Structure 1
Amino acid sequence: MIFNDKGRERFLDAVAGFEAAVRERDADRSEHEFQQLYQHFQQAGEQEIARAAPRLAALLPEVPPGPRGTIAVIVGACVERGADAAGCAPHVFEGLVGTLAGVQEFCERWAETGGGDFPDPQGEPDAGLFDRVGPEAALSWLTLPQWEMASVAMLNHASVRTALGAEQRTRLFTALRAVEEESGHDFKCLAYALHVLDDEPLVVLHRPTGTGYALRMSGIGDNFQLHTLLADVLVGGGHVPGRAPSAQEAAVCRDQPGQVDTTGSFNLVTPGGDWVWNEGTPSDIPVVDGVRLLVLDPPPYERSWPAGRFFPHMTGDLRLERVLEPAEAGRLLAGCVTKEG
């Protein structure tokens, strides 16, 4: 062959075909173009992905409920490949809000029709599920994991988290938490993503040395990541004694891919003396006089884990802003409780 269609943008062609089929309510053509989206996504170029994502995101309200969640996942995958998250996110979160409302209805109907263990939302649905709770409620439950994936892809970006705002994130988490409590299923990735803090002041008191530090954190997904970065900044920075993480251990907690085994340097404790578990999130750290306040005690035993990021596509950061004056650190420590055992 002398000529070929190497330069043809097949993924964008599929997007255009899918848009037309959805708007014409042509089910057969929609299914065909839907398959084309899948077939050509991996080979699509950067510019194709950037142009396709906002079009698919804007189309979400018009896509039927069944495939809508899958299209949201494709939008999320486009964002992970460099498409503009800020432009896509409002449409994805609108879909998430509607899905959570539908899932709440699903929970209510499930209880009204006899209750029992909830079906696995990622398993093969029972044929009677749609008759039992109604098709829209059933589809909301079955597609919630897809909306979780798409929403996390948006929340990986600080600009999206900032634009969404703390109030809206709190509302989303409250709705999600109600679903978790009623269903017995957890949606940990979305819950953690909604709790991520940005440009958040953090005061840390190191009890063994009586010193204190004002820091600022952003994009930290869990306390394993925070723990490693605290050791990097404070031990690695020569401020407190202990084991400093290697450069690689710190890097994978900031912006580099992968995981590296590390060993804990502290026990994270609240001012009231309760442990702040590594398995939790920085939002667990209590606010005292308007600032999150964390105490570092010696580790009661050796703890190791794979250092890295809970959200591999989210950049994390922890910066030291100043060392507290000894009197200030002493005053704050005097108000902190030590619990035995």
Structure 2
Amino acid sequence: MTSAPHTFTDALSALESAVRDQDGERCDRAFPLVHQAFQEAGPDELRLGAPRLAALLEHVPPGPRAVTAVLVGACVERGADPVPCAPALFAAVREAFTAALEFTERWAATGGGELPDPGRDELDDRAVERAGFGPALGWWTLPQWGMAALALLGSKAVRRRIASDGGELRSLVERVQSAAGDAGEDFKSLVYALRVLDDEPLIVLHRATRTAYLMRMTGIGDNFQLHTLLAGALVGGLHVPGESPSAEAIAVCREKEGQILTTGTYNLGAPDGSWIWNEGTPSDIPVVDGTRLLVLDPPPYERSWPAGRYFPGMSGDLVLERVLGRDEAESWYARVADPKETT
């Protein structure tokens, strides 16, 4: 009888061997040992172990697969490189959300009713009978898959890799969120992370001064963060009048930890005059002639919020690339309507 492995590397090797041999009993013994050893693992062990764990995802039994994904994400949060882990992990994420979407469809086709809450309810025989084991397990493990995916999406390189699929994963997750109804609120953070734009050009029109700016945004999780960075760049940069957010508020919207109370400077508007809500994301800004176009109007009422990053592990930035000349600015103003009143 061999002794139990003591290090994360040893425990992982034992799990790989059990999975390779498709030995269920050894797998059952190896999984808790990997989790225990993870707590004491050093940086080098995590760096080398994370992609090995990710590579196991397609081979481990369905039950512990999502928990294994969470462990991959935990390795990344402790410093492991997310890029080598991303292909295998997001292939498994797609599989889980595809199964979950099938669960919602089968649930609706077998009588409907309120969907089980995967974060609180336990998987039961009734759900399996109505939808099948695979779809039910996909639905019940979504919180773990979302947690694992979010850990990797803090990386710009990973986001670029995911974006290369043309938005298919984002569309899939949004379909599950829509089908889930109230339960879909649990997937909001993952939806927002998949909507994050990187190196995205943005034309900003400041209507009161009839000026225009070409900016570029990266890693901005919501429009509260964007709003704060806009005011910092334009008011703080002395391009337009107003009160700039504090240096601390701008810093926490970039990389610094924490939140700082700030007051809104603008009303964010779309080219058709409708409002773009702070609660939304920069992806809500419409594209006009190939570039996102945002209009800044005076705020109809004072509004404050805790400035910071929607995703604390994701660095954000907004760069002013150039001030547009008068003729170029007017060509953009010709594309926008007057602001609409919104209750």
Normalising by structure 2, we get a TM-score of 0.93
CA contact (8 A) 1:202 1:291 kept: yes
Residue pairs, 1:159-198, within 5 angstroms: 159-166=157-164, 168=165, 170-184=167-181, 185-186=183-184, 187-198=187-198
Question: Who is 1:43 aligned against?
Answer: 40
Shift of 1:164: 2.4
Amino acid across the alignment from 2:305: W
84, 88, 113: which one pairs with 2:110? 113
Q: Quickly say closer, same or farther: Cα 1:126–1:68, change in 2 above 3 A.
A: closer
What's the offset of the Cα at 1:110?
1.1
- The question of 1:315 aligning with 2:312 is answered no
Q: Contact 1:9–1:48 (CA<8 Å) still a contact in 2?
A: no
Q: Distance in 2 between matches of 1:286 and 1:9?
A: 55
Name the amino acid aligned to 2:227.
H
Kindly report which structure 2 residues correspond to 1:1-341, keeping only aligned pairs within 5 A, or say none.
10-128=7-125, 129-166=127-164, 168=165, 170-184=167-181, 185-186=183-184, 187-341=187-341
Q: Structure 2: which amino acid aligns with 1:263?
A: T
Q: CA deviation at 1:306?
A: 1.1
Check conservation: 2:123, 2:140, Cα contact below 8 A.
Answer: no
Report the Cα distance in structure 1 between the residues aligned to 2:13 and 2:177, rounded to whole angstroms.
37
Unmatched 5+ residue regions in structure 1? 1-7
1:198 positional shift: 0.8
Q: Post-superposition shift, 1:126?
A: 4.7
Shift of 1:40: 2.6
Amino acid at match of 2:238: G
| C-alpha separation in 2, matches of 1:216 and 1:88 | 28
- CA deviations on 1:293-334 (whole Å, 9 max, x unpaired) are 100001111111111111111111110110111232233224
Unaligned runs of 5+ in 2: none
Measure, in 2, the Cα distance between the counterparts of 1:315 and 1:26. 43
Separation in 1, partners of 2:17, 2:135: 27
State the distance in 2 between where 1:180 and 1:325 align. 43
User: How far is the alpha carbon of 1:162 from its aligned partner?
Assistant: 1.4
Aligned residue pairs: how many?
Answer: 333
| 2-structure distance, mates of 1:9, 1:303 | 55
How much does 1:103 deviate? 1.3
CA–CA distance in 2 between the matches of 1:290 and 1:126? 46
Secondary structure of the equivalent of 1:62?
Answer: coil
The 1:75–1:169 alpha-carbon spacing in structure 2 relative to 1, beyond 3 Å, is farther
How big is the alpha-carbon RMSD for the aligned residues of Structure 1 and Structure 2? 1.6
Q: In the aligned structure 1, how far is the partner of 2:336 from the partner of 2:288?
A: 11
Partner SS, residue 121 of structure 2: coil
Which SS does the other structure have where 2:137 is aligned?
helix
Q: Aligned equivalents of 1:334 and 1:132: distance in 2?
A: 56
2:213 corresponds to which letter in structure 1?
Y
Alignment partner, residue 5 of structure 1:
none
Give the TM-score taking structure 1 as reference length: 0.93
Q: Using the TM superposition, give the Cα deviation of residue 165 of structure 1 relative to its aligned residue in structure 2, in angstroms.
A: 2.8
Relative to structure 1, the CA distance from residue 278 to residue 9 in structure 2 (aligned partners, 3 Å threshold; closer, same or farther) is farther
Which range is displaced more, 100-109 or 81-90? 100-109
Instruction: Write the distance in 1 (CA, Å) between the matches of 2:234 and 2:207.
Output: 13
1:4 paired residue number: none
The 3 A distance-change label for structure 1 pair 173 and 321 is: same
Q: Is residue 273–residue 336 contact of structure 2 (8 Å, CA) maintained in 1? A: yes
Which whole-Å CA distance do the structure 2 matches of 1:132 and 1:312 have between them? 39
Instruction: Give the Cα–Cα distance (whole angstroms) in 1 for the partners of residues 54 and 200 of structure 2.
Output: 30
CA distance in 2, matches of 1:226, 1:80: 25
Give the AA of the match of 1:285.
Answer: I
Checking the alignment, whether the CA contact within 8 Å between 2:271 and 2:337 is kept in structure 1 is yes
Equivalents in 1 of 2:212, 2:197: separation in Å?
21
Q: Alignment partner of 1:28: what SS? A: helix
